[in-house]
Structure 1
Amino acid sequence: MTERPTKKMSETLTVHTTHVLPPDTNNHGTLFGGKLMAYIDNVASITATKMARSPVVTASTDSVDFIKPIRVGDAVKLEAMVTYTGRSSMEIFVKITSEHLLTGKKSIAALSFLTFVALNEQGQPTQIPMVVPETEEERWLNDTAKVRAEHRKRRKKESEQLASYFSHD
């Protein structure tokens, strides 16, 4: 049996920065939550593909915690990285920072965890490398991932039960 390949967390890092313009905002002058969620899914999918080097799909958006509003005129920066891998699935952490461009003041605006699954040519889950943390922050994210994975499994089971309750076909 061959040993499973590894990849450093830092090799999956993807950074995206964009200017928040008026069409991206709501009537409060802050970035639409749905727009930010689209940015999150996009940057996370690039990160997941870097890890798997195969097609990937979003299995779940585990959380998006909006911490501070992102205002028109700000820059919004998303930093995504794979924090944990199973056989074919991977957890992606996205840190969202806003920067007031005129003052340079930066704030954590949101945090998000997503799960992606790597697919082979037939669209079936396929094995991916194991992710290796290097820094203290990376080790913490990796060490705490199993707790989040258990929560995710419980939540999925509850969602499946709820879906069956509402399925009247």
Structure 2
Amino acid sequence: MRFHTRKWVKPEDLNANGTLFAGKVLAWLDEQAVIYGIIQLENKRVVTKYMSEINFMSSAVQGDIVEIGIEVIKFGKSSLTLNCEVRNKMTLETILTVDNVILVNLDEKGKPLPHGKTKVEYVKDRLVDKQA
């Protein structure tokens, strides 16, 4: 799994117990999953369709740095299925896992659009291909 994004836990990210608010970390995860999908599918119209069970394993407190890991599980016809993990960068403890996040590639009318992708691509490789 590659960890793509880091977030600094600030006072506004905490719940009443002084730990990282679940809704905040899920918003971070969803945003990063969609950004990842946009880059992979080369389309700004990508939305989250489904998130499987969310398994909270630990938490974080103010001042901690958390990072979000994303791994592609499957390319569908118009979808992309990801496995995600959020962990504490300092302790490497897993904060939560989501086994399946399904994103859907959409056309300009908001309908599923086949993307034609079958493997993970990296921007650096696309730049090389375009220069050749």
1:89 corresponding residue in structure 2: 79
Unaligned runs of 5+ in 2: 121-132
Change (3 A) 1:14 1:56: farther
Please, which of 99, 102, 108 is the counterpart of residue 115 of structure 1?
A: 102
TM-superposed deviation, 1:123: 2.0
In structure 1, runs of 5+ residues without a counterpart are 1-9, 133-169
**What secondary structure does 1:34 align onto?**
helix
Match for residue 22 of structure 1? 11
Which amino acid counterpart does residue 16 of structure 1 have in structure 2? T
1:41 aligns with 2:30: yes
Letter in 2 for 1:81: E
Identify the match of residue 57 of structure 2 among 64, 67, 76.
67
SS of the aligned residue for 1:28 comes to coil
TM-score by length of 1: 0.63
One-letter amino acid of the counterpart of residue 55, structure 2: D
Percent sequence identity is 26
The answer as to whether partners of 1:40 and 1:78 remain within 8 angstroms in 2 is yes
Matched residue count: 117
**What is the deviation of 1:70?**
1.4
- In structure 1, C-alpha distance between the alignment counterparts of 2:104 and 2:39, rounded to whole Å: 12
* Alpha-carbon RMSD: 1.8
Tell whether the 8 Å contact from 2:65 to 2:89 is kept in structure 1 after alignment. Answer: yes
Deviations 1:16-52 (A, max 9, x none): 1011112110122110000011001100001111221
The normalised TM-score by structure 2 is 0.80
- For the 8 Å contact 1:57–1:117, the answer to whether it is kept is yes
Q: Are the equivalent residues in 1 in contact too, given 2:19–2:61 (CA < 8 A)?
A: yes
8 Å CA contact retained: 1:56, 1:119: yes
